[in-house]
Amino acid sequence: MRKSFKSVALLIVVLLLTALVAACGKGDSKVSVGIVLPTKDEPRWVQDEQRFKDALKGSKYTTEILFSQGSSAKEKENVETLINKGIKVLIICPQDGDAAAAAVEAAKDEGIKVISYDRLITNTDAVDYYVTFDSVSVGAAQAQYLVDNAKGSGEPLYLYAGAASDNNAFLFFQGAWNVLQPKIADGTFKIANSSEAEALKDTKDLSRDQLSKIIGQVTTNWDPNEAKNKAQTHLTAAAADMKGDVAILAPNDGTARSIADVFGADSAVSSYVVTGQDAEQASIQYVIDGKQSMTVFKDVRTLVKDAMGMAVDILDGKDPATTGSYNNGKVDVKAKQTNVITVNKDNVQKELIDSAYYKASDFTGL
């Protein structure tokens, strides 16, 4: 009798402890805001992770950041992991704008609010908000730099673009084309490496299909190695009149550095002007060293602040403030947009050091 009482009591204690441990476990894994970023392989997104961490110090909200490593399948898995941790808001920068639709639809089904971060998730109604830089003006700033630094007329122009799976690649190229096309038409530039762009050189407003054709031909897929191989192929094929002083539209810093290295190593290229974007630390060093001409500074601190501000508003039951909207092919997504800044040797100190984005000691020769 006593013996069985003892074992029942023991069983109850064990059960209570198990329940307690389970409850604690659940408590530990509760996350209110899930953040999914595309890859750790590009400094741009590691920078975003760091800026999120800086912004979240001392916050009462629990967050978790996961990386998709360039895979839409991994991205979906990450979203599912976060759904299981009870998130109420998902901040996600898609690897592939179309493919991410399935992941955010799964989140929507659970009543989670979705904020598309930097890149728009396309062709789904499961995106609630979009925080972004003014991407058309990124491309326009790059192109304007090439125009402002053009040497005479008939200068060879090499065009490169981002990945076609990224809606931003279209916006960047569209912005650049708006500025470059009149300068191609008036003979300032001659296109060196794209028969598709050449065929459209008299068309100012390109349709999505026309943009697709050019991007399909000059894409880097956001991959510095692919950019390097393409640049090498283009220079090998280029006739002498496509060398000398050249202008290069490179879509971002990672691809700009590798394209610049290829052009810098060709003795028939006497000078080059090359664009970039992201103000990556390595590119700022390239700008200081005169190897990359400019970059477009997108202050990630602002994007992070906007995304977290929206998330907190949602958690507090408020409607986040927006400044406009973007059509994603299915719906108009309410958006908050941030301006960008052209940076070259002349204003790098002011924009990036004085603003405390980087430390002077991060660079040599400043």
Residue span binding ligand BGC (CB under 6 A) among the ranges 75-83, 162-170, 256-264, 333-341: 162-170
Q: Which two tokens stand for residue 181?
A: 């096309």
Site membership for ligand BGC, residue 166 (CB under 6 A): yes
51 lines the binding site for ligand BGC (CB under 6 A): no
Task: Pick the piece of the chain touching ligand BGC (CB under 6 A) from 15-23, 106-114, 161-169, 328-336.
Answer: 161-169
Cβ atoms of residues 123 and 190 within 8 Å: no
Residue with the CB atom nearest ligand BGC in the bound state:
252
Per-residue x/- marks for ligand BGC, 264-283, CB under 6 A? -------------xx-----
What's the start-to-end Cα distance of the chain, in Å?
85
Distance separating alpha carbons of residues 77 and 94, to the nearest angstrom? 13
Angle of CA points 215, 277, 157, to nearest 5°: 50
User: In the complex with ligand BGC, which residue's Cβ is closer, 62 or 285?
Assistant: 285
User: Measured from the CB of residue 29, what is the shortest distance to ligand BGC in angstroms?
Assistant: 30
278 vs 299, beta carbon nearer ligand BGC: 278
Told to check if 252 binds ligand BGC by CB under 6 A, we report: yes
* Rounded least distance, CB 271 to ligand BGC, Å: 25
Provide the minimum distance between the beta carbon of 68 and ligand BGC in the complex, in angstroms, as a whole number.
Answer: 12
Q: Which residues make beta-bridge pairs with 116?
A: 92, 130
Size of the site for ligand BGC (CB under 6 A): 11
By CB under 6 A, what part of segment 283-312 binds ligand BGC? none
CA 1, CA 3: separation in Å to the nearest integer? 5
Q: Quick check: 118 binds ligand BGC (CB under 6 A)?
A: yes
> What letter represents residue 103's amino acid?
A
What Rg, from alpha-carbon coordinates, does the chain have? 24
- In the shown chain, the binding pattern of residues 65 to 104 toward ligand BGC, with x for contact by CB under 6 A and - for none, equals ----------------------------------------
Tokens 């402002």: give the residue. 148
Q: How far is it, in rounded angstroms, from Cα 144 to Cα 150? A: 10
Q: How far apart are CA 310 and CA 115, in angstroms?
A: 8
H helices of the chain, where?
2-29, 43-56, 72-84, 101-109, 135-148, 167-185, 195-199, 208-218, 224-237, 253-264, 281-288, 300-315, 348
Name the DSSP class of 357.
S
Using the rule CB under 6 A, which residue among 129, 158, 160, 222 binds ligand BGC?
Answer: 222
Cβ nearer to ligand BGC, comparing 37 with 308: 37
Residues found near ligand BGC in the complex (CB under 6 A):
42, 44, 118-119, 162, 166, 168, 222, 252, 277-278
